[in-house]
Structure 1
Amino acid sequence: MHRPFPDRKTLGTRYNLKPDTQPVEARRLQPGDIVVLEPECPIVVTRMRREDGGVRVWGRYIWEPPHAPHWPLGDFGAMEPVARALPGEYPRPTR
């Protein structure tokens, strides 16, 4: 079982909406990573495509089911910093 989070992180929901993050280069992202591009809106990276010195990223909000369609998060420069959730902020999916 994953550890419970304090109310200040969940804002009264069942989701960790305010994960602790660390900036990483966009080229280091992987599917399954959680990124925060807007406050209180964590997103699961579902797909990536590296192209022309950059990265195109798709994802879905953490509260959307796994079968929900993913949508483009945007194009990032390879070295552009993106806020990625720290390990332990979310349970890892079972494989």
Structure 2
Amino acid sequence: MSLFEVNDKGNIVVHGHLDRETLSKNFWESLSGNQRSTLLSNKKCQVDLGDVERADSAGLAWLINAVRDAKQNGVSMTLYKMPEKLQKLAKISDADSFLPVE
């Protein structure tokens, strides 16, 4: 199973661990051509983090960069079902203001 899936509405479900061991590329580079096209045509997406089991500072950076990259490509991204530990990490890191959490 891949780290995340993009459905035909442009919504994304993230699975498993968001950490330095599972993240080798940034979000936008990890997308296939079809996934990019879907996001670009929808202009917005929701990222479901409810299935994330563990995240560290690399996972937080990956999310911040995903939001940035989406915005640079004209896609509005919203995060939801963010695990409590990841929310705390974002708050401690003073990065919570960068993340559009629902």
Q: Which has the larger radius of gyration?
A: 1
- The structure with more strand, counted as a fraction of residues: 1
Same fold (TM over 0.5): no
TM-score, normalised to structure 2, is 0.24
Task: Identify the structure with the greater helix proportion.
Answer: 2
